[in-house]
């Protein structure tokens, strides 16, 4: 069902040896892990003041690149009581020295020792500070240095009102490390939160940057690498990396799949797609097109018999299997050619099947090869009992729900939208399946606790049929991968990255409104 840690360790060690600093681009750490890494730095002799100075200087330089003096000469800076406030005060000093007109908002008079020293020096430079955020309303840029990672208490009282007032302005806001008011791990809004235009994540990525509920507060996000030694990261982060972004660098290590000079179609994977109904014929075509786009060697498509002529015309290189059809136009049963599961490397099932496909899904669940379930197959699985059905399976199962389907599959996981990463991890552990939780940031979890995150996507994919394309792409990629034997969850994540990348390219050329599922398929091969 899973992949051995030794396989992951080999892959990770190989990548680290080739591109040590670049590897940090893909690592995501919790608030606790980041705190532990920083404690190791301090224990090793790195002065807190030196680390603050280095990180803040780098942020100051980046802010000046984003907002040059001629564009934003008046800057308001929100200063919190802790090290985030200290970073803000160093930035204030540097911007002041570069000629910016800087004003400080310090809602909490009591600062920690190091920020207090920076505050005294800012006073000596004549940088004014104010007790209310309204005094900064005429500024052309706001820098949010109220709270960094690790915040767990809600913003309340006068401070919350001041943040809400700030959010009503049209002034651009740059947040230090994470917008103040967001939970670092879940992305939950703690009472209220700063809505940033730009967020500068310090050191390593934090989970909130990839939680759907926090994205509206992040703005444009980038990571500031202030030079954490790799050994300190690996001393805290276990191998394989438990929470990881599938960056383009990593994805292109898996794609395109290499092929030997001497090969044939059945050595490049044989995928069986079971989907469609008279009412939802389009889902079948789109799933098959997604599979074709993967480059799979052989594609078989089982559909209701009335759809066979349509599929033959649209997918001429596929083997179209006509199935007995119910009065409602759904697959009534699978013929022998579609139940000889040993003939296939992977089975993908679900799009357009309708709820009448319960017998079909029950049969597919008995297959020993890996299966990918989507759409109606997921709803049927929930009806049959997710845990009961999946505990009986021998092969790998991949589930690809959106949030609504996820809730039906795993009703005991409360409010998964509040922590999509944690919810996917728990579902994978419970079910023994690889879970792909769709969203603005797609999450992939395996039963051993490994999480992949697709760091970018586009609203252009919020169109009917986009998920059908993804199902076919996953199935086709997994079918080919059985020869190469990359970790299956990594390949599921790679398919999701490929799908998102194609959508982004299509949106760039055609605008977000101009991308439908059929158009998406035309861009799958243009990303290489």
Residue with the two structure tokens 């960094």: 148
Of 169, 171, 167, the closest CA to residue 179 belongs to: 167
Binding residues for (6S)-NADPHX: 83-87, 148-154, 177, 352, 402, 468
Tokens of 507: 């949106």
Binding residues for AMP: 438-442, 467
List CB contacts of 343: < 8 A, sequence separation 6 or more: 270, 272
Q: Cβ distance 409 to 377 under 8 Å?
A: no
Of 386, 310, 324, the closest CA to residue 357 belongs to: 324
Tell me which DSSP letter residue 71 carries.
T
Q: Which residues pair with 27 in a beta bridge?
A: 244
Q: Cβ distance 243 to 29 under 8 Å?
A: yes
Q: Which residues pair with 200 in a beta bridge?
A: 176, 222
Q: Cβ distance 356 to 326 under 8 Å?
A: yes
DSSP 137-173: TT-SEEEEES--TT--SPP-HHHHHHHHHHHTS---E
Binding residues for K(+): 84, 144, 180
Binding residues: 83-87, 144, 148-154, 177, 180, 352, 402, 438-442, 467-468
Q: Cβ distance 50 to 114 under 8 Å?
A: no
List CB contacts of 141: < 8 A, sequence separation 6 or more: 63, 67, 72, 74, 75, 76, 171, 172, 173, 174
H/E run at residue 73: none
């Amino acid at each position: 069902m899973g992949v051995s840690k030794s396989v992951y360790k080999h892959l990770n060690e190989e990548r680290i040896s080739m591109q040590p600093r670049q590897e940090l681009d893909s690592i995501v750490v919790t608030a606790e892990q980041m705190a532990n890494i920083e404690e190791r730095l301090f224990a090793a002799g790195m002065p807190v003041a030196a680390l603050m100075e280095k990180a803040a200087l780098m942020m100051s330089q980046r802010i000046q690149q984003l907002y040059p003096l001629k564009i934003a000469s008046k800057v308001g800076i929100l200063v919190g009581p802790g090290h985030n406030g200290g970073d803000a005060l160093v930035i204030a000093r540097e911007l002041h020295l570069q000629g910016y007109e800087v004003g400080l908002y310090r809602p909490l008079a009591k600062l920690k020792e190091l920020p207090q020293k920076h505050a005294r020096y800012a006073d000596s430079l004549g940088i004014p500070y104010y007790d209310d955020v309204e005094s900064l309303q005429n500024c052309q840029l706001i820098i949010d240095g109220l709270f960094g990672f690790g915040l767990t208490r809600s913003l309340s009282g006068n401070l919350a009102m001041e943040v809400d007032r700030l959010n009503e302005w049209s002034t651009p806001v740059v947040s230090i490390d994470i917008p103040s008011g967001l939970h670092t791990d879940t992305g939950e809004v703690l009472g209220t939160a700063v809505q940033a235009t730009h967020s500068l994540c310090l050191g390593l990525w934090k989970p909130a940057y990839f939680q759907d509920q926090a994205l509206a507060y992040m703005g444009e996000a980038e990571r500031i690498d202030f030079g954490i030694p790799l050994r300190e990261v690996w001393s805290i982060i276990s191998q394989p990396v438990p929470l990881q972004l599938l960056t383009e660098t990593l994805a292109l290590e898996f794609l395109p799949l290499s092929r030997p000079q001497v090969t044939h179609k059945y050595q490049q994977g044989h995928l069986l797609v079971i989907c469609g109904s008279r009412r939802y014929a389009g889902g079948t075509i789109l799933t098959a097109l997604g599979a074709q786009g993967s480059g799979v060697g052989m594609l078989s498509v089982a559909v209701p018999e009335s759809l066979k002529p349509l599929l033959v015309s649209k997918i001429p290189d596929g083997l179209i299997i006509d199935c007995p059809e119910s009065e409602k136009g759904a697959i009534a049963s699978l013929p022998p050619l579609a139940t000889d599961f040993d003939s296939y490397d992977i089975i993908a099932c679900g799009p357009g099947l309708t709820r009448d496909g319960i017998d079909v899904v029950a049969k597919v669940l008995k297959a020993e090869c890996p299966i990918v379930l989507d759409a109606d197959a997921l709803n049927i699985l929930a009806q049959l009992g997710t845990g009961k059905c999946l505990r009986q399976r021998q092969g790998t199962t991949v589930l690809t729900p959106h949030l609504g389907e996820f809730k039906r599959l795993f009703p005991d996981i409360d409010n998964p939208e509040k922590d999509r990463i944690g919810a996917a991890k728990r579902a994978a552990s419970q079910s023994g399946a690889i879970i792909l939780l769709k969203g603005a940031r797609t999450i992939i979890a395996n039963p051993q606790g490994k999480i992949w995150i697709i760091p970018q996507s586009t609203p252009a994919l919020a169109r009917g049929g986009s998920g059908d394309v993804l199902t076919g792409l996953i199935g086709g990629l997994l079918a080919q991968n059985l020869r190469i034997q990359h970790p299956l969850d990594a390949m599921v994540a790679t398919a999701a990255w490929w799908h998102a990348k194609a959508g982004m390219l299509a949106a760039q050329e055609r605008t977000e409104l101009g991308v439908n599922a059929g158009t998406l398929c035309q861009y799958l091969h243009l990303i290489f």
